[in-house]
Amino acid sequence: MQHTFRLRLAALAFSALLSCGCSEPGTQTQAPASPEPASLATAAPLALPAPKAGRVRPLVAVLADNAGTEVTDFVIPYGVLREADVADVRSVSTGAGTVALMPALRIRADQTIAGFDAEVPAGADIVIVPAMHHDDTPQVLAWLRAQAARGATVVAVCEGALVLARAGLLDGRSATTHWYAMRGIEAKFPATRWVHGRRYVADGNIVTSSGVTASLPLSLALVEAIAGQPAAAAAAARLGVRDWSARHDSTPFRLDAASIGLALSNRLAWWRHETVDIAVAPGFDEIAVALQADAWSRTYRSEARTLGTAAQLRSRRGLRLEADAVAVGAATGPEPGHHASAPYAGPPAEALDAALGTIQARYGQATAQFVALQMEYPRR
């Protein structure tokens, strides 16, 4: 979503500057949200079929395209489902080697699509699809169609819905996506019933979610569907999540002239830009690091990188990270133009609030709110 947001932001900025009637701060620049259908307002928790024959618990494939996959969309479902320990979870990439996560972090998946298919010809029980830099990669679209045909529940996080739409998996179904993508995706894929104001929407074996931070409640909803409410509640308590229902108000999220002006000001003031070094060591919490890196890389003033004790590290829940840089020698403070971000020690889901608080203290409230806007996060 970060890549498409920046491209669209540039176009909107020119439009806003050339317009004789610029919106006042807070004025919507996209169509008002449509009312939530009554049938969805009282939607039951997610329901999943039993695991495929021969399996004691579901097999979950979290998909990544090596060319670019949204960091939070990918890492949080992986981390939450591993934390809950209610399914067998594998990270699967389109090819071998490094997976570039957006807007920060680099990882290596457990196996490739080809390797997964050779080992698991019956297919996964659940496939999780994050937003991707390329939403029309033929290999990805064909694989998703094949997994759905084999009975997998396919779950899109944020603009992963666009990947599913291009695969034809949303035709005739209800779905949702990130607030910013909604108007464009409605026009491109009119055969889908696009639902506003929901964190996640299930229609048959397809589940979609709203913006970036919906990945946390969506993942816990999957835990509940697999193992029941007590298992989800226990995982939520450990992670620091209070609510994982589908309730969500998307109307406050809108791009206005003030947001566009802030983004341009932050981007163009290159002399104020800095790199944020997030320290990582073996056993680091991948959920907390993903939330920190995502937030810092959306300020338009900073880019996050991981500063590791080694070039490759395993996270607390088994993710293989390639550090962007390796710390050498005794700590002497951050490099010029760098800001050090210490590992977050609290419940991992609360790392985003902590990062937003630090961003606000460093860059101002408007920038912190702009980051929350991009992540569709109702900041408390």
SS3 344: coil
Cis peptide before 103 (omega within 30 of 0): yes
pLDDT of residue 337: 78
Q: Identify the domain boundary among 184, 214, 239.
A: 239
Q: Identify the domain boundary among 239, 269, 295.
A: 239
197 within some domain:
yes
Q: What is the pLDDT of residues 272-331, one digit of tens each?
A: 999 999 999 999 999 999 999 999 999 999 999 999 999 999 999 999 999 999 988 655
pLDDT of residue 1: 52
SS3 114: helix
pLDDT tops 60 at residue 5: no
267 within some domain:
yes
273 and 142 in a single domain? The answer is no
pLDDT of residue 41: 37
274 and 67 Cβ atoms separated by less than 8 Å: no
80 and 203 in a single domain? The answer is yes
126 and 230 in a single domain? The answer is yes
186 and 275 in a single domain? The answer is no
The amino acid present at 151, given as its one-letter code, is G
Cis peptide before 348 (omega within 30 of 0): no
0.85 surpassed by pTM = yes
323 within some domain:
yes
pLDDT of residue 37: 42
Q: What is the pLDDT of residues 63-93, one digit of tens each?
A: 999 999 999 999 999 999 999 999 999 999 9
221 and 335 in a single domain? The answer is no
Per the structure, the count of domains in the chain is 2
130 and 230 in a single domain? The answer is yes
CATH number at residue 304: 3.40.50.880
d(CA 58, CA 101): 26
177 and 224 in a single domain? The answer is yes
33 within some domain:
no
212 and 272 in a single domain? The answer is no
358 and 278 in a single domain? The answer is yes
d(CA 27, CA 132): 29
227 and 260 in a single domain? The answer is no
d(CA 213, CA 356): 13
117 within some domain:
yes
Range of the domain at 180: 43-239
135 and 104 in a single domain? The answer is yes
Q: What is the pLDDT of residues 324-364, one digit of tens each?
A: 999 886 555 677 778 888 779 999 999 999 999 999 999 99
47 and 119 in a single domain? The answer is yes
92 within some domain:
yes
Q: Identify the domain boundary among 173, 206, 239.
A: 239
